[in-house]
C-alpha cells in the first residue's frame, strides 16, 4: 500500500482564508490589464462576498460561465466566504450542456459574459435562476456597502460543485467541501515546494479541479497567478517569457503542441517545475520535456475529480520510471485492491482506491451514482470512512511505485478532457439524422484519444453524411466533436442483441 504523507499544515480552514496568506503588497493575480496585490485581492473578495450575501441565501448555488479573469478567479473564494456554493462552468461548453448544469445544480444565479448569456434560449435558465453579465456583477460588487471578513464556516460544509463527465449519461456534479479544496492546496504547494516568489501560469480551465488548484495552491504559498486563455501554443511560450513564469501545468496533448513551438531562452530559464495530469506522459514526451527544459523539475501526476489528486512521481525518479504514476500525495492513501477486497501484492493488478480527507462528498443529488463510486474504505485503510473506488486498474512495483494498466469503463480522454461516449451518442441521435450511434476513443499520440463516431443513418435522415457534422458543431463543444465519423449500413451485435462495441473498436483499430 501507499501510505499518506502529512505536510507541516494538516489542519483545514475555510477556503476563503487562502487569500489571507500572501504578503500585503506582493502580486496575487496578474491580469491582462491590471495586477492585484494580495491586499487588493483581499478587498475584492470581501466586497464580492458581501454582494453575494445580500443577493443569495446560504447554501444557494452561483454558477460562473466566463473566460479567466477577475470574476472567475476570485469568485471561488468570495462564494466560500458568503456561504454559497460555486458552480464553475467550462467556458468551452455550449448552451445544451450549460442548461443541464444549471438545472441539475439548481443554480439561483448565473454570472457570465454577455455573448454567452445571449446564446441561451428561453428555457435554458431553470425557474428562479437569474442571469447577470459579469461586468455588471463586478460593478455591483464594487458599489456594495457590505464587506465580509474571513469566515468561520465549518470546513466540512459544501463549497463547490464541479461537473465532470461520467462513463454514461450527462455530466455529474462532484460535491467538494472547504476541507477538500484547502487540503488539496496544501498538499500540492507542499510537494511542488511552491514559494512566495513563484509565478504560476494558469492555462487550464478553472472549471477543472486541476485548473482551479493552480489558483489555490499558489495563493496558499503566497505566490502569484497569471491566468491565460491561449489561442495558440506559442502564446504560452510568450506568456512564460513576459511574466518570468516558474510553474507551468498542462495535459499531454498540450505538451505535444508546446514542444513543437520555439521557446526563447527567457521563456525557459525561469521555469522551475512542469506538472502534468489529465493523462499519462509518454516516454517520448518525457524525453522532449527534459531536453527543452533542462533545469526544470517534471512532476507527472494522476488524479480524479472525485478525490482531486491521488499520486505524483518525484522528479528524481522520472528518468528511470517515466511512465510511473508515482506514490500518494500528502493526505492521500492509495490502495491497490483485488476482487476480494484485499491489498494486492507487488506486481499484481488491482483497482486503485483513494482514501482520506481529499475524498469528495459524493455526487450532487445522485445517490445511485454516488453509491457506485463512493464506498466504505477497505479494511486495510488507515483512514477508514468513505473511499473513492476509481475503476482504474493499476499495479504497484517492489519500490512502491504505481503503474497504470487501464480503465473498466468506456470513458474517452481527449486533449485532457474526460468525455462521456453516451453524451456524444445522445447528441447524434437527437439530430434525427442517425438511427444508431457509438462513440469510441482511439489512441492518438497528440490527443490521448481521438473521438471516432460510428453511425447508421436514419431512413428519414436526408443527407446525413453532410448534415451530421454541422449539427454536432452546433450542439457540442469543440473538444467533444468527433475527429472521424464512420458510416455503416448495419451495426454488429453481441449475443445479447446489443451493439458490439468491442467488435467496432477492433474494426476501427485494424
Q: pLDDT digit string (tens) for 42-54?
A: 999 999 999 999 9
CB 335 within 8 A of CB 380: yes
Same domain for 228 and 165: yes
CA nearest to 409, candidates 440, 366, 454, 446: 440
Dihedral through CA 87, CA 91, CA 97, CA 98, nearest 10?
50
The SS3 assignment for 389 reads strand
320-325-330 Cα angle (round to 5): 115
4 domain-assigned: no
Last-in-domain residue among 404, 420, 445: 404
What does the pLDDT read at residue 498? 64
pLDDT at 8 over 80: no
Same domain for 349 and 478: no
Q: pTM for this structure? A: 0.85
What does the pLDDT read at residue 31? 98
pLDDT at 3 over 70: no
Range of the domain at 335: 15-404
pLDDT at 167 over 60: no
Domain count across the chain: 2
Per-residue b or e along 47-82, where b marks 16 or more CB atoms closer than 10 Å to that residue's CB: bbbbbbbebbeeebbbbbbbebbbbbbbbbbbbbbb
Q: pLDDT digit string (tens) for 334-381?
A: 999 999 999 999 999 999 999 999 999 999 999 999 999 999 999 999
Same domain for 428 and 395: no
What does the pLDDT read at residue 407? 67
What does the pLDDT read at residue 474? 92
1 domain-assigned: no
452 domain-assigned: yes
What does the pLDDT read at residue 4? 52
Task: Give phi and psi for 199, each to the nearest 5.
Answer: -125, 115
Compute the mean pLDDT over every residue in the chain, rounded to the nearest whole number.
Answer: 92
Q: pLDDT digit string (tens) for 404-413?
A: 887 666 678 8
Same domain for 384 and 416: no
pLDDT at 435 over 90: no
Q: What is the CATH number of the domain that holds 440?
A: 3.30.300.30
Amino acid at each position: 500500500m501507499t501510505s499518506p504523507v502529512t505536510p507541516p499544515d494538516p489542519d483545514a480552514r475555510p477556503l476563503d482564508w487562502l487569500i489571507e496568506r500572501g504578503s500585503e503588497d506582493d502580486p496575487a493575480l496578474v491580469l491582462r490589464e491590471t495586477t492585484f496585490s494580495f491586499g487588493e485581492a483581499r478587498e475584492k473578495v470581501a466586497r464580492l462576498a458581501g454582494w453575494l450575501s445580500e443577493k443569495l441565501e446560504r447554501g444557494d448555488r452561483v454558477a460562473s460561465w466566463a473566460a479567466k479573469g477577475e470574476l472567475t478567479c476570485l469568485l471561488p473564494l468570495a462564494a466560500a466566504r458568503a456561504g454559497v456554493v460555486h458552480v464553475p462552468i467550462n467556458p468551452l461548453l455550449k448552451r445544451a450542456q450549460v442548461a443541464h448544469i444549471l438545472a441539475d445544480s439548481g443554480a439561483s444565479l448565473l454570472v457570465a459574459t454577455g455573448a454567452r448569456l445571449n446564446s441561451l434560449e428561453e428555457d435554458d435558465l431553470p425557474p428562479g435562476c437569474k442571469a447577470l453579465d459579469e461586468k455588471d456583477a463586478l460593478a455591483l460588487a464594487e458599489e456594495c456597502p457590505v464587506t465580509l471578513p474571513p469566515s468561520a464556516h465549518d470546513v466540512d460544509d459544501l463549497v463547490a460543485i464541479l461537473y465532470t463527465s461520467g462513463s454514461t449519461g450527462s455530466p455529474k456534479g462532484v460535491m467538494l467541501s472547504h476541507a477538500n479544496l484547502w487540503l488539496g492546496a496544501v498538499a500540492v504547494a507542499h510537494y511542488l515546494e511552491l514559494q512566495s516568489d513563484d509565478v504560476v501560469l494558469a492555462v487550464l480551465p478553472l472549471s477543472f479541479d486541476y485548473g482551479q488548484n493552480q489558483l489555490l495552491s499558489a495563493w496558499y504559498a503566497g505566490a502569484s497567478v497569471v491566468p491565460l486563455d491561449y489561442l495558440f501554443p506559442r502564446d504560452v511560450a510568450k506568456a512564460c517569457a513576459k511574466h518570468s513564469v516558474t510553474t507551468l501545468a498542462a495535459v499531454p496533448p498540450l505538451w505535444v503542441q508546446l514542444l513543437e513551438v520555439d521557446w526563447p531562452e527567457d521563456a525557459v530559464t525561469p521555469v522551475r517545475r512542469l506538472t502534468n495530469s489529465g493523462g499519462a506522459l509518454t516516454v517520448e514526451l518525457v524525453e522532449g520535456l527534459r531536453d527543452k527544459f533542462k533545469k526544470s523539475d517534471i512532476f507527472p501526476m494522476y488524479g480524479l475529480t472525485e478525490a482531486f489528486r491521488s499520486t505524483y512521481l518525484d522528479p528524481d525518479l522520472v528518468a528511470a520510471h517515466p511512465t510511473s504514476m508515482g506514490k500518494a500525495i500528502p493526505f492521500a492513501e492509495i490502495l491497490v485492491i483485488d476482487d476480494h477486497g484485499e491489498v494486492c501484492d507487488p506486481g499484481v493488478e488491482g483497482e486503485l482506491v483513494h482514501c482520506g480527507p481529499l475524498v469528495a462528498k459524493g455526487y450532487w443529488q445522485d445517490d445511485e451514482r454516488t453509491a457506485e463510486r463512493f464506498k466504505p474504505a477497505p479494511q486495510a485503510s488507515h483512514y477508514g470512512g468513505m473511499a473513492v473506488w476509481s475503476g482504474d486498474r493499476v499495479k504497484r512495483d517492489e519500490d512502491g511505485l504505481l503503474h497504470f494498466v487501464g480503465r473498466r469503463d468506456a470513458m474517452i480522454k481527449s486533449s485532457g478532457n474526460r468525455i462521456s461516449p453516451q453524451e456524444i451518442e445522445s447528441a447524434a441521435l437527437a439530430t434525427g439524422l442517425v438511427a444508431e450511434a457509438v462513440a469510441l476513443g482511439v489512441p492518438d499520440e497528440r490527443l490521448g484519444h481521438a473521438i471516432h463516431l460510428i453511425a447508421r443513418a436514419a431512413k428519414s435522415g436526408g443527407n446525413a453524411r453532410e448534415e451530421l457534422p454541422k449539427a454536432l458543431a452546433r450542439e457540442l463543444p469543440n473538444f467533444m466533436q468527433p475527429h472521424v465519423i464512420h458510416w455503416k449500413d448495419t451495426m454488429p451485435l453481441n449475443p445479447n442483441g446489443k451493439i458490439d462495441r468491442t467488435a467496432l473498436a477492433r474494426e476501427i483499430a485494424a
